[in-house]
């Protein structure tokens, strides 16, 4: 991929930050989108670059995902140094130590109600299925007929419209419901705080990643993957381009005199 001069310049500035956080959304950024969620895997070039970055001094890597932590770990096989934010910010793993989400009795009741609605709707819509997360459910419609998919999402939305304890998010061929309000912006802000990073790179492809882009500050770099409105400053077409960009960032940072091993 030909990386344009403006992005190259921003990456060079980012690479020279004293403390750098490189945070990546998973599906559609690190891993190409596939039909079955459990089949998603990181592109080798991105995974290698993440490991190279994580090995550098004063450099942190993170996957910031809508997936449940267990699912994120299963598909990404992350290096233990890579920080993980799951369930759109509701779950965190830092250095192998997990901070799972806990639900109160009202939230557990809301989760059961959400499950019932999605399961009933899915049973009427061939090709759809329901993914379970600790604080939510996902109605997947990628493999359904387009009309059935739209009808299923519409029916679920209508049945949940009066629930103020269930937060709905649109995603790529999914409708997500969560009983915990969390955003990737909050997840990124938390990672910035724990790493004390003075510059952040964040790449995302979905509408839920816009909260992450909006949490970026002066000197940070946001990269949107694919089409759609975005608050990110830069855009590329596909996850393969992300591999090239993260590899360039790893090379630029490892070439700095301060990063060389004596």
Ligand X SMILES: O=P(O)(O)OC[C@H]1O[C@H](O[C@H]2O[C@H](CO)[C@@H](O)[C@H](O)[C@H]2O)[C@H](O)[C@@H](O)[C@@H]1O
Tell me if 78 contacts ligand X by CB under 6 A.
no
Tell me if 220 contacts ligand X by CB under 6 A.
no
Query: Alpha helices, DSSP H only, in 55-144?
Result: 69-76, 105-123
Closest residue to ligand X, judged by C-beta, is: 66
For residue 57, give every residue at least 6 positions away whose Cβ sits within 8 Å of its Cβ, in sequence order, or none.
258, 259
Complex with ligand X: residue 18 or 154, whichever CB lies closer: 154
Binds ligand X (CB under 6 A): choice among 69, 85, 174, 200: 174
Helix 5-15 with 239-254: angle, nearest 10 deg:
50
Tell me if 27 contacts ligand X by CB under 6 A.
yes
Site residues for ligand X, window 176-215 (CB under 6 A)? 176, 206
- Say which DSSP state 209 is in: G
Complex with ligand X: residue 131 or 198, whichever CB lies closer: 131
- For residue 204, give the nearest of 218, 187, 179 by alpha carbon: 187
Tell me if 28 contacts ligand X by CB under 6 A.
yes
Tell me if 93 contacts ligand X by CB under 6 A.
no
Mask 119-148, x = binds ligand X (CB under 6 A)? ------------x------x-x-x------
CB of 189 to ligand X, least distance (A): 16
The piece of 53-61, 144-152, 166-174, 236-244 that touches ligand X (CB under 6 A) is: 166-174
**Would you name the residues annotated as active-site residues?**
25
Q: Is the dihedral of CA 60, 65, 71, 75 positive or negative?
A: negative
Binds ligand X (CB under 6 A): choice among 1, 8, 34, 79: 34
Tell me if 74 contacts ligand X by CB under 6 A.
no
How many residues contact ligand X, by CB under 6 A?
22
What is the C-alpha end-to-end distance of the chain, expressed in Å?
33
Tell me if 173 contacts ligand X by CB under 6 A.
yes
Complex with ligand X: residue 37 or 54, whichever CB lies closer: 37
Say whether 99 sits in a helix, a strand or coil. strand
How far is it, in rounded angstroms, from Cα 227 to Cα 240? 15
Q: In 10 A of CB 115, how many CB atoms? A: 15
| Cβ proximity of 205 and 224 under 8 Å | yes
The angle subtended at Cα 138 by Cα 70 and Cα 223, nearest 5°, is 75
Query: Alpha helices, DSSP H only, in 207-238?
Result: 210-214
Q: Which residues bind ligand X (CB under 6 A)?
A: 25-28, 33-35, 37, 40, 65-67, 131, 138, 140, 142, 171-174, 176, 206
């Amino acid at each position: 991929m030909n990386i344009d001069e403006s992005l190259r310049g921003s990456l060079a500035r980012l690479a020279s930050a004293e403390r750098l956080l490189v945070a990546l959304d998973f599906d559609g950024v690190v891993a190409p989108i596939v039909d079955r969620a459990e089949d998603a895997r990181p592109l080798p070039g991105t995974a290698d670059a993440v490991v190279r970055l994580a090995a550098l001094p004063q450099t942190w890597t993170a996957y910031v995902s809508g997936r449940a932590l267990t699912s994120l770990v299963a598909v990404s096989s992350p290096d233990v140094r890579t920080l993980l934010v799951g369930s759109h910010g509701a779950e965190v793993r830092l250095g192998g130590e997990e901070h799972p989400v806990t639900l109160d009795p009202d939230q557990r009741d809301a989760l059961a109600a959400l499950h019932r609605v999605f399961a009933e709707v899915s049973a009427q819509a061939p090709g759809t299925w329901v993914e379970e997360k600790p604080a939510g459910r996902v109605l997947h419609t990628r493999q359904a007929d387009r009309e059935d998919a739209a009808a299923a999402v519409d029916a679920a939305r209508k049945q949940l419209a009066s629930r103020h304890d269930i937060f709905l998010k649109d995603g790529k061929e999914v409708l997500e419901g969560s009983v915990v309000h969390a955003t990737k912006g909050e997840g990124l802000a938390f990672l910035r705080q724990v790493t004390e990073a003075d510059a952040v790179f964040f790449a995302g492809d979905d509408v839920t990643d816009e909260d992450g882009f909006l949490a970026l500050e002066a000197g940070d770099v946001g990269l949107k993957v694919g089409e759609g409105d975005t608050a990110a400053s830069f855009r590329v077409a596909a996850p393969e381009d992300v591999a090239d960009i993260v590899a360039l960032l790893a090379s630029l940072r490892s070439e700095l005199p301060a990063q060389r091993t004596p």
